[in-house]
Chain A
């Protein structure tokens, strides 16, 4: 117990030191968002430049790195806090802009363009407050992303980090911890939405030993980057939560299974684990109790199906990542045949606040059957591409028009795809549906891990369905035939349709075959893979119909259905198109209207580009 007291005191001191530092308010503080997107846009250069210039220009300032602030559309982003001022976030910061920010804002407190309004409530805000409600977003899982330096454990501790673990180990019995998680109503954020507390309880009750805690950081859903952002911006929250899970279920060993495509997240996790070990927050006798827990990393190697928990466990064991039939569930027989509790990154990130702020607090957010918030990666044809966290039950309209800033180039909204290759499309008629697990399933889609791809009138829904099926065909592990062969056939039919050779019968086949695959596949991959087809068939049947009957693609995406046509009235017969046609498909006399031979045309568009008289159009 002495050890524990000492540790607590050092932690407290550390926190105080930080607070004093903040209260002193003498220094300019600059935070640069250094997640993968930020770095790719030049955030590192901006950070180095600012540090150097502050030195040169004799400005007393601290420059630190932080994780994703969520404004991917405006990368690189930085936050500047002048003494006695509220922090201000600037977007689109290149070196020139950084220079202006230093000279104008930091030196003279004059505003510079490109300020991003703060659009979320933080975890400590009063939730019943009116301004909080207007903000639409509440950051719980992302509470530290873009706030702390992810490579410095002191920052995390300064934001109440490891308090939840301390509290669990010293004040709460494992059963009480599980009870809290159950009461909070937290459901798995990895896609399935299984109640987390219940899963912990089942694993706790399994008798075999040892037990394992696994964090699923495979995030294979293309278009999703929530888990990456959490790991890059706040790795300790996941580590702390895994230790809490270990305590609750009776495990001493944790594994993070992370995809190899995320090098920065891997590096930051490694640093965080190292720091936690040094402070005794991982390892033997944590907080002076007899609880021991440590974490290792395992890497994925580019296989979507490995996100499925049984496949993931086989991959962890060094095998091909093929799924197996459930039951037995991993909670009973998982890694090395032993009870294993698998949770998603975001699920874990929600645990510490549930312990520190209480289950009732968490359960007060969200909708009736889906509690808390959900992080979404908003991407595609939307103005404010980025990472958002909204209470469950928020409508699609709020997400797209309020937070997302509407569709790019003021085009018309067509659909949003959620749930990735397992999900479906939501359309205009779903704009006012509150987003939660059950409503999404009722609308023919699913929550998935949180990717939200917005599409507009320029996207062809048949081509999108084909895109997902191509993905599934490539990623099917091949173990069961409905998935291996059925999806291939689905893909072939879609290809036939986009090539202009489809029939109405094919549309029937898509539906029957899709339903058979759903009913007979072994794992979640095959059971959901026809969803993109079935949901677009339901919501955009007229587009399929046009492809098949009118041989037309209204979005102009399916090239085979496109025709380049010369409008006689505008054609002056200059021959520019004919000369530039790579396959000599254009004929005609000089000064007379030309003609494109549709059988020879390869639809490269060279003629349209070269025509100075706007005489060539596509149907």
Chain B
């Protein structure tokens, strides 16, 4: 599965078990459990999936199948400041691709990758529904609207 091997600490396993219990260990709540787990760990490595599978009495394959089906779930750790560039239609026709290129150029990483210092990662998403502000970029929880390629530098400066 994931090429990054991690060892969950006993405390983390407990935390996961608590999450599952809060949903009564119901298999039908798998997606809600994964949302919670990802908000705690930042991503869903194989080890986390194994614990969830055991707790909800599901096969690991089933959990893996669900994790990989939904683009919201990721098995790669994201940067401290995850950058998402909206490539929805409204953003696309307003030049989102050029904004994406500028992020890639300045950070020297590709979509789906994290900078070596772990600070930034770039991903694309489809429409946050703020089309009035296209092109839109989100960094963490913050939404930036009407972003131009020239403005990318200034946005990144905020995180120095």
| Interface residues in chain A, defined as those with a beta carbon under 8 Å from any beta carbon in chain B | 36-37, 39-41, 72-73, 75, 219-225, 228-229, 260-263, 298-304, 315-321, 377, 379-381, 385-386, 417, 420, 451, 453, 455, 459, 464, 467-468, 471, 477
Whether, in the assembled complex, B24 has its beta carbon less than 8 Å from a beta carbon of chain A, the answer is no
- Known contacts A299-B32, A301-B72: A75-B133 contact under CB 8 Å: yes
Of A222, A464, A468, most B-chain CB atoms within 10 Å: A222
The answer to whether A262 touches B27 (Cβ under 8 A) is no
For the complex, give the distance between the alpha carbons of A451 and B131 in Å: 10
Task: Name B90's contact: one of A222, A260, A318, A319 (CB within 8 Å).
Answer: A222
> A301, B125: Cβ atoms under 8 Å?
no
B29-64: which residues lie under 8 A (CB-CB) from chain A? 29-32, 34-35
Pairwise interchain contact A40-B126, C-beta atoms closer than 8 A = no
Residues of A close to B94: CB separation below 8 A: 380-381
Distance of A232 from chain B, by nearest CB (Å): 9
Asked if A37 and B130 sit within 8 Å, CB to CB, the answer is yes
Q: Which residues of A are found within 8 Å of B69, using beta-carbon distances?
A: 303, 320-321, 477
A320 → B minimal CB distance (Å): 4
CA–CA, A471 to B32, complex, Å?
A: 25
Q: How large, as a class, is the contact surface on chain B?
A: 35 or more
Q: How distant is the Cα of A301 from the Cα of B72 in the complex, in angstroms?
A: 5
Bound Cα distance A552, B18 (Å): 60
| In the complex, B143 has a CB within 8 A of chain A | yes
A381/B93 contact (C-beta < 8 A), A36-B128, A40-B133 known: yes
**What are some 13 contacts across the A-B interface (CB < 8 A)?**
A40-B144, A222-B89, A224-B127, A224-B129, A300-B70, A301-B72, A301-B73, A316-B28, A318-B31, A380-B89, A385-B132, A459-B93, A468-B89
Annotate B1-38 by CB proximity to A: 1 below 8 A, 0 otherwise: 00000000000000000000000001111111011000
The 6 closest A-B pairs by CB, nearest first: A72-B132, A222-B88, A301-B70, A225-B129, A302-B72, A40-B143
Give Cα A223–Cα B88 distance, bound, in whole angstroms: 6
B93 touches A36 (CB 8 A): no
A338 to nearest B CB, angstroms?
A: 13
Whether A379 pairs with B131 at a CB distance below 8 angstroms is yes
Q: Are B132 and A75 neighbours in the complex by a CB distance under 8 Å?
A: yes
Known: A72-B132, A225-B129. 6 other contacts (CB 8 A): A40-B142, A222-B127, A223-B90, A229-B129, A261-B129, A380-B89
A41 contacts B70, C-beta separation under 8 Å: no
Contacts of A37 in B (CB 8 A): 130, 132-133, 145
Write the nearest CB–CB distance from B158 to chain A, whole angstroms. Answer: 15
Query: Are A467 and B89 in contact, with the CB atoms below 8 A?
Result: yes
Are B66 and A451 within 8 A (Cβ)?
no
Q: B126 near A36 (CB under 8 angstroms)?
A: no
CB distance from B51 to the nearest CB of A (A): 16
Selected from B34, B65, B89, the residue in CB contact (under 8 A) with A453 is: B89
